Amino acid sequence: MKVGLVDVDGHNFPNLALMKISAWHKADGDVVEWANSLEYYDVVYMAKVFTFTPDDLQAYQTDTLIQGGTGYNIALTLPEHIEHVYPDYELYGVEDTAYGYLTRGCPRQCPFCIVAQKEGVQSVKVANLIEFWQGQKKIKLLDPNILACSNWQELLKQIADSGAEVDFTQGLDARLLTNEKVEAIQACKYKILHFAWDNANDDFTPKVLAKYAGKWGLRQDKLKVYVLTNYNSTHAQDLYRIYKLREIGYDPFVMIYDKYNAPVKTRHLQRWCNNKIIFNSEPDFANYNPKRGVRP
Ligand code: SF4
Protein backbone atom coordinates (compact mmCIF):
# COMPACT_ATOMS: atom_id res chain seq x y z
CA MET A 1 0.00 0.00 0.00
CA LYS A 2 1.03 3.58 -0.57
CA VAL A 3 0.08 5.85 2.32
CA GLY A 4 0.03 9.66 2.28
CA LEU A 5 0.11 11.79 5.41
CA VAL A 6 -0.90 15.44 5.81
CA ASP A 7 -0.10 17.46 8.93
CA VAL A 8 -2.56 20.27 8.29
CA ASP A 9 -1.61 22.69 11.05
CA GLY A 10 1.68 21.32 12.31
CA HIS A 11 4.33 23.83 13.24
CA ASN A 12 7.24 22.88 15.44
CA PHE A 13 5.42 20.11 17.23
CA PRO A 14 5.28 16.64 15.67
CA ASN A 15 1.83 15.10 15.35
CA LEU A 16 1.78 12.03 17.56
CA ALA A 17 -1.16 10.36 15.82
CA LEU A 18 0.57 10.63 12.43
CA MET A 19 3.78 9.19 13.89
CA LYS A 20 1.82 6.20 15.20
CA ILE A 21 -0.08 5.72 11.93
CA SER A 22 3.21 5.85 10.05
CA ALA A 23 4.82 3.28 12.37
CA TRP A 24 1.88 0.92 12.04
CA HIS A 25 1.83 1.06 8.23
CA LYS A 26 5.60 0.76 7.91
CA ALA A 27 5.53 -2.32 10.16
CA ASP A 28 3.12 -3.81 7.64
CA GLY A 29 5.52 -3.10 4.76
CA ASP A 30 3.58 -0.13 3.39
CA VAL A 31 5.22 2.90 1.80
CA VAL A 32 4.52 6.01 3.88
CA GLU A 33 5.27 9.58 2.81
CA TRP A 34 4.02 13.14 3.17
CA ALA A 35 1.14 13.37 0.70
CA ASN A 36 1.65 15.17 -2.56
CA SER A 37 -1.42 16.15 -4.55
CA LEU A 38 0.18 14.90 -7.81
CA GLU A 39 0.49 11.30 -6.57
CA TYR A 40 -2.12 8.60 -6.00
CA TYR A 41 -2.36 6.99 -2.55
CA ASP A 42 -4.32 3.98 -1.33
CA VAL A 43 -5.10 5.96 1.78
CA VAL A 44 -4.47 9.55 2.89
CA TYR A 45 -4.57 10.54 6.55
CA MET A 46 -5.05 14.23 7.35
CA ALA A 47 -4.46 15.39 10.93
CA LYS A 48 -5.60 18.78 12.22
CA VAL A 49 -5.03 19.73 15.85
CA PHE A 50 -6.69 23.12 16.09
CA THR A 51 -10.22 24.24 15.25
CA PHE A 52 -9.22 27.82 14.40
CA THR A 53 -6.50 27.11 11.82
CA PRO A 54 -7.26 27.03 8.08
CA ASP A 55 -7.97 23.69 6.47
CA ASP A 56 -5.82 22.18 3.73
CA LEU A 57 -8.06 22.37 0.67
CA GLN A 58 -5.81 20.50 -1.75
CA ALA A 59 -7.48 17.60 -3.56
CA TYR A 60 -5.48 14.48 -2.72
CA GLN A 61 -5.78 11.54 -5.12
CA THR A 62 -7.12 8.67 -3.05
CA ASP A 63 -10.19 6.52 -2.60
CA THR A 64 -9.81 6.61 1.17
CA LEU A 65 -9.40 9.93 2.91
CA ILE A 66 -9.34 9.84 6.71
CA GLN A 67 -9.46 13.15 8.58
CA GLY A 68 -8.81 13.14 12.30
CA GLY A 69 -7.76 15.29 15.22
CA THR A 70 -9.58 17.91 17.25
CA GLY A 71 -9.61 20.30 14.29
CA TYR A 72 -11.78 17.85 12.29
CA ASN A 73 -13.58 15.52 14.62
CA ILE A 74 -13.04 15.10 18.35
CA ALA A 75 -14.98 11.82 18.42
CA LEU A 76 -12.56 10.04 16.09
CA THR A 77 -9.75 8.31 17.94
CA LEU A 78 -7.02 5.95 16.81
CA PRO A 79 -7.93 2.27 16.99
CA GLU A 80 -6.25 0.51 19.93
CA HIS A 81 -3.83 -1.44 17.71
CA ILE A 82 -2.42 1.84 16.36
CA GLU A 83 -2.76 3.90 19.56
CA HIS A 84 -0.23 1.72 21.37
CA VAL A 85 2.51 1.36 18.76
CA TYR A 86 5.91 2.99 19.24
CA PRO A 87 5.79 6.27 17.26
CA ASP A 88 7.77 6.68 14.05
CA TYR A 89 9.89 9.63 15.27
CA GLU A 90 11.86 9.56 12.01
CA LEU A 91 8.82 10.95 10.23
CA TYR A 92 9.66 14.36 11.71
CA GLY A 93 13.39 13.78 12.07
CA VAL A 94 13.00 13.75 15.86
CA GLU A 95 16.17 12.23 17.26
CA ASP A 96 16.43 12.50 20.99
CA THR A 97 12.98 13.33 22.28
CA ALA A 98 10.08 11.01 23.04
CA TYR A 99 6.46 12.20 22.88
CA GLY A 100 3.44 10.60 24.42
CA TYR A 101 0.66 10.22 26.93
CA LEU A 102 0.80 8.16 30.10
CA THR A 103 -2.71 9.26 31.05
CA ARG A 104 -5.76 10.63 29.30
CA GLY A 105 -8.74 12.57 30.61
CA CYS A 106 -9.25 15.18 33.29
CA PRO A 107 -11.86 15.57 36.04
CA ARG A 108 -11.78 19.41 36.05
CA GLN A 109 -14.07 19.98 33.07
CA CYS A 110 -12.97 23.59 32.62
CA PRO A 111 -15.55 25.09 30.25
CA PHE A 112 -12.97 26.38 27.77
CA CYS A 113 -11.23 23.00 27.44
CA ILE A 114 -12.25 20.02 25.33
CA VAL A 115 -10.25 17.37 27.19
CA ALA A 116 -13.13 16.06 29.32
CA GLN A 117 -15.40 15.85 26.29
CA LYS A 118 -12.73 14.20 24.18
CA GLU A 119 -10.98 11.94 26.67
CA GLY A 120 -13.34 11.60 29.61
CA VAL A 121 -13.82 13.13 33.05
CA GLN A 122 -11.36 10.87 34.81
CA SER A 123 -7.61 10.88 34.47
CA VAL A 124 -6.79 7.28 33.57
CA LYS A 125 -3.47 5.55 32.95
CA VAL A 126 -3.23 4.55 29.28
CA ALA A 127 0.40 3.53 28.84
CA ASN A 128 3.71 2.80 30.45
CA LEU A 129 6.61 5.05 29.54
CA ILE A 130 8.36 2.28 27.62
CA GLU A 131 5.55 2.38 25.07
CA PHE A 132 6.91 5.61 23.55
CA TRP A 133 10.32 6.08 25.20
CA GLN A 134 13.39 4.02 24.36
CA GLY A 135 16.27 5.85 25.95
CA GLN A 136 15.83 9.34 24.47
CA LYS A 137 17.35 12.16 26.53
CA LYS A 138 14.13 14.16 26.60
CA ILE A 139 10.48 13.34 27.15
CA LYS A 140 7.64 15.66 26.16
CA LEU A 141 4.65 14.48 28.13
CA LEU A 142 1.30 15.47 26.66
CA ASP A 143 -0.89 14.34 29.56
CA PRO A 144 -3.68 16.77 30.41
CA ASN A 145 -3.62 16.10 34.15
CA ILE A 146 -1.26 13.37 35.32
CA LEU A 147 -1.56 14.44 38.96
CA ALA A 148 -5.28 13.60 38.91
CA CYS A 149 -4.58 9.98 37.98
CA SER A 150 -4.67 7.42 40.79
CA ASN A 151 -1.47 5.90 39.30
CA TRP A 152 0.46 9.19 39.57
CA GLN A 153 3.09 7.71 41.89
CA GLU A 154 3.94 4.77 39.65
CA LEU A 155 3.98 6.95 36.52
CA LEU A 156 6.13 9.70 37.99
CA LYS A 157 8.53 7.01 39.19
CA GLN A 158 8.78 5.64 35.65
CA ILE A 159 9.76 9.14 34.50
CA ALA A 160 12.24 9.61 37.35
CA ASP A 161 13.81 6.18 36.73
CA SER A 162 14.25 6.97 33.02
CA GLY A 163 16.76 9.71 33.90
CA ALA A 164 15.42 11.64 30.90
CA GLU A 165 14.59 15.33 31.11
CA VAL A 166 10.82 15.64 31.24
CA ASP A 167 8.64 18.52 30.11
CA PHE A 168 5.06 18.38 31.41
CA THR A 169 3.94 20.35 28.38
CA GLN A 170 0.28 20.76 29.36
CA GLY A 171 1.06 22.07 32.82
CA LEU A 172 0.80 20.46 36.23
CA ASP A 173 -2.40 21.01 38.19
CA ALA A 174 -1.14 22.99 41.19
CA ARG A 175 -4.39 22.40 43.09
CA LEU A 176 -3.50 18.72 43.37
CA LEU A 177 0.01 19.21 44.74
CA THR A 178 0.81 17.51 48.04
CA ASN A 179 4.12 16.94 49.78
CA GLU A 180 4.27 13.41 48.29
CA LYS A 181 3.56 14.61 44.78
CA VAL A 182 6.11 17.40 45.05
CA GLU A 183 8.73 14.86 46.13
CA ALA A 184 7.83 12.59 43.21
CA ILE A 185 8.17 15.51 40.77
CA GLN A 186 11.45 16.57 42.39
CA ALA A 187 12.79 13.06 41.72
CA CYS A 188 12.33 13.66 37.98
CA LYS A 189 14.85 15.51 35.86
CA TYR A 190 13.42 18.77 34.49
CA LYS A 191 14.68 22.16 33.38
CA ILE A 192 11.37 23.96 33.32
CA LEU A 193 7.97 23.43 34.95
CA HIS A 194 4.57 24.59 33.76
CA PHE A 195 1.51 25.23 35.90
CA ALA A 196 -1.72 27.10 35.20
CA TRP A 197 -3.90 29.65 36.98
CA ASP A 198 -6.75 29.82 34.51
CA ASN A 199 -9.70 30.72 36.69
CA ALA A 200 -9.48 34.26 38.04
CA ASN A 201 -11.84 33.37 40.90
CA ASP A 202 -9.66 30.49 42.06
CA ASP A 203 -7.70 31.70 45.08
CA PHE A 204 -6.43 28.21 46.00
CA THR A 205 -3.91 27.86 43.15
CA PRO A 206 -1.72 30.81 44.23
CA LYS A 207 -1.73 29.55 47.83
CA VAL A 208 -0.46 26.11 46.79
CA LEU A 209 2.05 27.57 44.35
CA ALA A 210 3.36 29.90 47.06
CA LYS A 211 3.65 27.00 49.52
CA TYR A 212 5.92 25.03 47.20
CA ALA A 213 7.70 27.91 45.43
CA GLY A 214 11.06 27.15 47.01
CA LYS A 215 10.90 23.42 46.37
CA TRP A 216 11.50 23.17 42.65
CA GLY A 217 15.20 24.03 42.49
CA LEU A 218 14.67 26.26 39.45
CA ARG A 219 15.08 29.95 38.74
CA GLN A 220 11.88 31.99 38.70
CA ASP A 221 11.94 32.31 34.91
CA LYS A 222 11.80 28.50 34.63
CA LEU A 223 8.63 28.26 36.73
CA LYS A 224 6.01 29.16 34.15
CA VAL A 225 2.38 29.64 35.03
CA TYR A 226 -0.17 29.96 32.25
CA VAL A 227 -2.66 32.78 32.89
CA LEU A 228 -5.79 32.39 30.77
CA THR A 229 -7.29 35.73 29.71
CA ASN A 230 -10.30 36.82 27.67
CA TYR A 231 -12.39 34.10 29.31
CA ASN A 232 -14.56 35.14 32.26
CA SER A 233 -11.97 37.49 33.71
CA THR A 234 -11.61 41.25 33.86
CA HIS A 235 -8.47 43.13 32.92
CA ALA A 236 -7.96 43.91 36.62
CA GLN A 237 -8.16 40.18 37.46
CA ASP A 238 -5.66 39.38 34.71
CA LEU A 239 -3.24 41.95 36.07
CA TYR A 240 -3.77 40.73 39.62
CA ARG A 241 -2.80 37.17 38.68
CA ILE A 242 0.30 38.36 36.81
CA TYR A 243 1.52 40.51 39.70
CA LYS A 244 0.67 37.86 42.29
CA LEU A 245 2.58 35.13 40.45
CA ARG A 246 5.64 37.33 40.10
CA GLU A 247 5.45 38.18 43.79
CA ILE A 248 5.34 34.52 44.89
CA GLY A 249 8.27 33.46 42.74
CA TYR A 250 6.76 32.27 39.45
CA ASP A 251 6.88 33.51 35.87
CA PRO A 252 3.42 34.37 34.47
CA PHE A 253 2.71 33.53 30.85
CA VAL A 254 -0.45 35.01 29.33
CA MET A 255 -2.64 32.81 27.15
CA ILE A 256 -5.51 34.45 25.26
CA TYR A 257 -8.75 32.62 24.64
CA ASP A 258 -10.10 33.41 21.16
CA LYS A 259 -7.13 35.64 20.49
CA TYR A 260 -8.42 36.95 17.17
CA ASN A 261 -11.42 38.54 18.88
CA ALA A 262 -9.68 39.57 22.09
CA PRO A 263 -9.57 43.23 23.20
CA VAL A 264 -6.47 45.13 22.09
CA LYS A 265 -5.63 45.76 25.75
CA THR A 266 -5.43 42.01 26.40
CA ARG A 267 -3.11 41.53 23.44
CA HIS A 268 -0.89 44.32 24.75
CA LEU A 269 -0.94 42.66 28.15
CA GLN A 270 0.24 39.42 26.57
CA ARG A 271 3.08 41.14 24.70
CA TRP A 272 4.20 42.98 27.82
CA CYS A 273 4.06 39.93 30.07
CA ASN A 274 5.42 37.24 27.76
CA ASN A 275 8.30 39.25 26.36
CA LYS A 276 10.58 38.96 29.37
CA ILE A 277 12.90 41.75 28.22
CA ILE A 278 9.94 44.12 28.35
CA PHE A 279 8.41 42.54 31.47
CA ASN A 280 11.61 42.77 33.47
CA SER A 281 12.52 46.28 32.37
CA GLU A 282 9.02 47.68 32.97
CA PRO A 283 7.37 45.87 35.88
CA ASP A 284 4.25 48.06 35.83
CA PHE A 285 1.82 47.48 32.96
CA ALA A 286 0.44 51.00 33.44
CA ASN A 287 3.79 52.33 32.18
CA TYR A 288 3.98 50.01 29.19
CA ASN A 289 3.69 51.80 25.90
CA PRO A 290 2.93 49.22 23.20
CA LYS A 291 4.21 51.57 20.49
CA ARG A 292 7.56 52.12 22.15
CA GLY A 293 7.88 48.95 24.24
CA VAL A 294 8.62 50.64 27.55
CA ARG A 295 8.56 54.22 28.75
CA PRO A 296 12.01 55.85 28.33
S1 SF4 B 1 -7.47 21.24 34.27
FE2 SF4 B 1 -6.49 21.52 32.27
S3 SF4 B 1 -6.86 19.64 31.14
FE4 SF4 B 1 -8.26 19.66 32.87
S5 SF4 B 1 -10.16 20.50 32.03
FE6 SF4 B 1 -9.00 22.20 32.95
S7 SF4 B 1 -7.77 23.06 31.27
FE8 SF4 B 1 -8.51 21.03 30.61
Contacts 24+ apart (CB under 8 A), 111-119: 112/198, 112/228, 112/231, 112/257, 114/70, 114/74, 115/144, 115/145, 117/74, 118/70, 118/74, 119/144
Name the residue of 145, 175, 199 to mutate for ligand 1: max ligand atoms within 8 A of Cβ: 145
**Half-sphere exposure at residue 189, Cβ-oriented, CA atoms within 13 angstroms:** 9
User: By alpha-carbon position, which residue is closest to atom 8 of ligand 1?
Assistant: 113
Element (H, E) at 239: helix 235-247
Percent of the chain predicted with pLDDT > 90: 90
Q: How confident is the model at residue 10 (pLDDT cuts 50, 70, 90)?
A: confident
Pocket test for ligand 1, best of 101, 104, 106, 199 (most atoms within 8 A of CB): 106
Residues near 11 by beta carbon (within 8 Å), at least 6 away in sequence:
none
Q: How far is the CA of 18 from the centre of ligand 1 (A)?
A: 24
Stretch 263-275: mean pLDDT:
97
Pocket-testing residue among 103, 115, 232, ligand 1, by greatest number of atoms within 8 A of Cβ: 115
- Ligand 1 atom at minimum distance from 106 CA: 4
Residue 294 pLDDT > 80:
no
Please state, in angstroms and rounded to a whole number, the distance separating the CA atoms of residues 153 and 179.
Answer: 12
Neighbouring-strand partners of residue 244: none
Q: Whose CA is nearest to atom 6 of ligand 1?
A: 110
> How many angstroms is it from 257 CA to the middle of ligand 1?
14
Is the confidence at residue 293, as pLDDT, over 80?
A: no
Decide if pLDDT at 24 tops 80. Answer: yes
Residue nearest to atom 2 of ligand 1 (CA): 144
First-to-last CA distance in the chain? 64
Q: Taking the CA of residue 128 as centre, how many other CA atoms within 13 Å lie in the half-sphere pointing to its CB?
A: 7
pLDDT > 70 in the chain, percent: 99
pLDDT band at 296 (very low <50, low <70, confident <90, very high): very low
Q: What is the mean pLDDT of the chain?
A: 95
- From 11-15, 29-33, 137-141, 252-256, the region with the lowest mean pLDDT: 11-15
Q: Among 95, 43, 94, which residue's Cα sits nearest to residue 68?
A: 43
What is the pLDDT, as a whole number, of residue 11?
A: 72
254 CA to centre of ligand 1 in angstroms: 16
Residues 6 or more apart from 256 whose CB is under 8 A from it?
Answer: 229, 230, 262, 266, 267, 270
Report the pocket of ligand 1 as residue ranges, CB < 6 Å: 106, 108-110, 113, 115-116, 144-145, 173
> CA triplet 182, 185, 190: central angle to 5 degrees?
135
pLDDT at 84 over 60: yes
Q: Would you give the DSSP letter of residue 85?
A: S
Between the CA of 263 and the centroid of ligand 1 the distance, in Å, is: 24
Q: What is the pLDDT of residue 75?
A: 87
Q: How confident is the model at residue 290 (pLDDT cuts 50, 70, 90)?
A: confident
pLDDT in tens, 160-169: 999 999 999 9
